[in-house]
């Protein structure tokens, strides 16, 4: 019969505690991210279109947080055929996911409550309602490098110019 090493047993006993601490830390991080719809209109929309800027706010006083956000159409999981500058067809699919680092107490515009898509029939473009939610979040160690930038093409509808208020 093989005898167990005491340090091996201790390491395995501490594993659940380590995992619980990690998940508790991430749970705390997601609770410090607030996603809120403002009263500011998104550029390019008329007042009656009711497309407002959505902000993500890190409420932590001293820690940066990497937040993972989900952008979905309403009703959920729609897809649309779009065309790029060379008139090549592109299928634009929801949901989309986007990572964003937020500094302590930072409030950043992360999108709008609606976008437009081409209409298959006249009279013109269709309004598509969007829902932006937080999925996961984690605290960032000081001086940790940011992740490589994502391909911006899937988020063309959410570019920073569309977040500016039309005041």
Q: Is 103 in a helix, a strand, or coil?
A: coil
In a domain, 40, yes or no: yes
Return the beta strands (E) in 32-153 as ranges. Answer: 33-41, 52-58, 65-74, 79-83, 89-93, 96-102, 107-112, 114-117, 126-139
Nearest CA-CA partner of 72 in 113, 127, 31: 113
Check pLDDT > 60 for residue 48. yes
Q: Are strands 114-117 and 126-139 parallel, antiparallel or unpaired?
A: antiparallel
Per-residue pLDDT band at 11 (split at 50, 70, 90): very low
In a domain, 75, yes or no: yes
In a domain, 80, yes or no: yes
HSE-up (13 A, CA, CB side) for residue 13: 6
Rounded to whole angstroms, the Cα distance separating 58 from 26 reads 14
In a domain, 113, yes or no: yes
Q: Token digits for 144?
A: 């940790």
Q: State mean pLDDT over 75-96.
A: 83
Tell me how many domains the chain contains: 1
In a domain, 164, yes or no: no
Q: Which of 20-24, 42-46, 92-96 has the highest mean pLDDT?
A: 92-96
In a domain, 157, yes or no: no
Range of the domain at 97: 35-142
What pLDDT, in 10s, does the model give residues 88-138?
Answer: 877 888 999 999 999 999 999 999 999 888 777 788 788 889 999 999 999
């Amino acid at each position: 019969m093989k005898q167990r090493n005491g340090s091996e047993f201790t390491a395995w006993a501490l594993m659940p505690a380590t995992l619980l601490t990690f998940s508790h830390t991430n749970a705390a991080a997601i609770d410090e991210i607030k996603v809120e719809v403002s009263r500011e209109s998104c550029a390019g929309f008329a007042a009656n279109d009711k497309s407002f800027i959505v902000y993500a706010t890190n409420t932590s006083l001293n820690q940066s947080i990497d937040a993972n956000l989900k952008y979905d159409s309403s009703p959920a999981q729609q897809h649309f055929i779009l065309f790029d500058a060379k008139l090549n067809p592109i299928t634009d699919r929801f949901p989309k996911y986007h990572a964003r680092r937020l500094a302590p107490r930072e409030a950043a515009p992360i999108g709008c409550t609606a976008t437009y898509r081409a209409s298959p029939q006249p009279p013109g473009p269709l309004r598509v309602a969007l829902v932006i939610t937080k999925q996961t979040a984690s605290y960032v160690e000081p001086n940790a490098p940011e992740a490589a930038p994502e391909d911006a093409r899937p988020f063309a509808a959410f570019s920073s110019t569309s977040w500016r208020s039309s005041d």
